Amino acid sequence: MTIRSGSKRFELAVDEFEKRVIKEIKRIVKETAEMIVTNAKALAPVDDGSLRDSIDVVYTKGGLTAIISVGVSYGIYVEFGTGIYAIKGNGRKDPWVYFSKKLNRWVYTRGMTAQPFFFPALDIAEKHWRSELKKLG
């Protein structure tokens, strides 16, 4: 009696199916990542362009993973606000003073209102991601 674990034709079909699915997933990852980057840059408030210009994407794991980053250190403060205007209310409660090189003077502030750009871009791209994955089955 001979026990066969599978036919060669079946194994080839499974391999081909896997390659097609992985290729489609990589396409979806790339499209979604580029959509996030494009929308985040479009939604980022522009002063000198540093925030917008620091938004970037790097692909890893052969294109199955996209890492989108905001390179400037103050991006989080723009997204969530500061001081009494912080989105979750967990900002500094007392006013402060700092010297602005741009204005060349001391500035008194209670904080800055949030100007979300990254999470709204994620929300927009999530719809595309879900729609494309549904098409895969």
The answer to whether 56 touches 71, Cβ cutoff 8 Å, is yes
The enclosing H or E element of 99 equals strand 96-100
Is residue 89 domain-resident? no
Is residue 47 domain-resident? yes
pLDDT for the residue numbered 57: 98
Per-residue tokens: 45: 């408030």
**pLDDT of 99-126, one tens digit each?**
999 899 999 999 999 999 999 999 999 9
Q: Which residue from 117, 135, 100, 128 is spatially nearest to 37, judged by alpha carbons?
A: 117
Is pTM beyond 0.75? Reply is yes
Is residue 95 domain-resident? no
Range of the domain at 40: 9-82+111-136
Q: pLDDT tier at 3 (50, 70, 90 boundaries)? A: low
Is residue 97 domain-resident? no
Is residue 100 domain-resident? no
Number of other CB atoms surrounding residue 50 within 10 Å: 13
**pLDDT of 51-98, one tens digit each?**
999 999 999 999 999 999 999 999 999 999 999 999 998 999 999 999
The enclosing H or E element of 127 equals helix 118-136
